[in-house]
Structure 1
Amino acid sequence: MNIQRKTGSARPPLARASAAEAAIPPEAARLLAALSGENAFAFPDPIEAGSLIVRSGGAGVSIGAGRFPAAAGERLVAADLAEREPGPRGRLTIGPAGRARLRREAGGGEAAYLAQHLDLVEEEVPGGGRRLRDASESPLAWMARRRGRDGAPLLDAASYEAGERLRRDMTAARMLPRMGADWGAPRVDGGGPRDPAAASDAIIAARQRVRAALDAVGCDLSGLLLDLCGHLKGLERIEAERHWPARSAKVVARIALGRLAEHYGLEREAVGPARARPRLWRA
């Protein structure tokens, strides 16, 4: 059945939302991006009227992030993309709608509104191509965002990267269960990748890297890493399956990921001189 659109009818909500986003001036869009930084805020310039100064940073360090017209800030507040504290000198900060807009813009295409609600990251697919993955599903991401009593993250950047590298190798090695058909797998009927031998070599190399990493960690911690990094089991589930005391998996996971980071050569801090001695090719 064919349905004809009536002339002069109202636009659908999605079209109205897209038009509203496109109506934001470029200066307001740049100000919104500047306010998305860590602890970023804007305040009126005490010297030059009609201007906003943006500051960002944390831990007692404030860094200048640019100067913008005050009209751009008023446009963001009117569009409910930013929030202003009460008072004539109130700070201007980004709002939930503003962060959602930036996530949609970063997602782009069909994944725009999906990126608004998920933490999408792009990764390579074994055999070629790229795909999107929700990083918030990983228990490693939860540990990296969670902070302890001392204010430090439960998982440092080196341990997080080590766990993610192990997961990528396990995915490339085809060691993880799939929820659907793998249309990129090599086939014997002449279809699939143009070079099945190269795909097989990549799988074998990935399995060798996984085996070397697990051997370096030790058999007492390798099973935990397989569940945590590969099968994405939460800490509470790991404790229940192993009959461990409550909140003990967090400590063991940090030890295991620390050993894994040492195997990969990942350091928690950059060491060495701040500047290297200049060298000439003639020397």
Structure 2
Amino acid sequence: MQRYLDHTEGGCSIRQLARELKCHPSTVLRQIRRVENRRDDPLIDCALGELAAAHFDRLAAPKFQHFADSATLRTAALEVLARLCQSGAILAVADGMEKAVVVREGDSAMSKLAVEQGLAGNMALLGWISCTRPGRLRRYHITPMGRTVYSRLMADRENRARANLEQGFSETQHRFLPGRGDRPKERRTRYGLGETPLDMLARLQDKSGEPFLPRELVDAGKRLREDFELAQVGDHLAQSRAYFAASEGCGRSKPPKRSAASKAAKKRAAAAMAAMGSGLNDIALRCCCHLEGLEAAERHLGWSARSGKIVLRIALAQLKAFYDETDERLGDSHGNQLIG
């Protein structure tokens, strides 16, 4: 876009641009032709006009704030991209109308979302949406690049929200920094959060608009966490009873005796971990039982970024198959007693 505007609005020749960029003139020519062919779209044509006015007229501010502030663009585009990711959603733009609208088949009029044409033009210019039906009433659909950008923006927002929820006191963290002689302590995992990593993944959608994690996979992960919590609670209760029941004469407590429910829960959790196998049970234990975030789990396991959610979905599918086989063999259905 920059080279196209320098050539059409600034009057720079293609050879001059190629010398500045240290590339062949045919490369610049192809880029300029590619942008010129996209100007048939009125949204892109209007967006390029605004960019040209803001770039070559330094005193004139851009008409739309989205061209001047990338943070404003990301915040405003997140809601629009979330609507367009839904099945059957389109962005409609009519000639002579100041705003575009995001609609979905079967939805009521109250669920429509009005979008400024400056924002829609910027999204079309970046390749996040594309026109699939030109005419007086143009229809735009989200592109694969737009879905990727939406996933990244949603992940960034969830990471910031989770960091604020778990850490807190970010504005005064300089007062809690350890001194030179203090040894850094390992951070303890927090339980009982309002939203687990599985709930966060369940809100994501794939390319077809379906949930990234179906409900049955989320229930399987919560079932594993329930058995894990029951086993942990049983161990703590057994140790407390053994401590208070110790004889005053000998001063030594007997080995703690766990309850039958705790033993059964620990046995079920161990069987589920063995059914998933090595590699899959690592990510399931960290995310389902320890409530560890995907980024932290990927870092501790040495995996590449954004690979944890794929492996976790495979592990949950294996876990669901194990639970289905167990329920069919035992002839009963399981219901969560602690979670969900």
- Range into which the TM-score falls when normalised by the shorter chain: 0.3 to 0.5
TM-score of the superposition, structure 1-length normalised? 0.41
TM-score of the superposition, structure 2-length normalised? 0.35
Hey, which of these two has a bigger chunk of helix by percent?
2
- Max radius of gyration: which structure? 2
